[in-house]
Amino acid sequence: MSANEVAKVAASVFRVLDRNGDGLISIMELLKEVDDRRKPISLAVRRTCAERLRKDESRLVLGDFIQMFTEMDTDDDGCVSLEEFTDFVGGSTMMGVQQAGHNAHAS
């Protein structure tokens, strides 16, 4: 996937996670999305968290998602910007989210 494609997919996924449309993802927005296991993006974020922490997906707990969020929030302002999210998604561990975003973008 090219950098341009990753950026487009990241923006698509970001819009889903940014539930209130303020241009930032809060920890609560991330947790609400992850809570609905029926959604492809939720499954991809869960898979990514498990891969990132090298933990079985079925054993993930709240603190694991908070840890992943903290890793995404590189400027420590308590929110994840599109730029931070895109940088994080660009890593190989976010391929599941990239695929979920591609599916959301295509539909």
CA distance 80 to 61: 20
Q: Which of 4, 6, 21, 10 is nearest to 72 (CA)?
A: 10
The band of 21, judged by pLDDT with boundaries at 50, 70 and 90, is very high
Q: What share of the chain in percent tops pLDDT 70? A: 83
The label of the residue with tokens 């927005």 reads 29
Q: What is the mean pLDDT of the chain?
A: 84
pTM of the model: 0.80
Q: Give yes or no for residue 104 having a pLDDT over 60.
A: no
Residue-wise pLDDT for 53-94, tens only, equals: 899 999 999 999 999 999 999 999 999 999 999 888 776 445
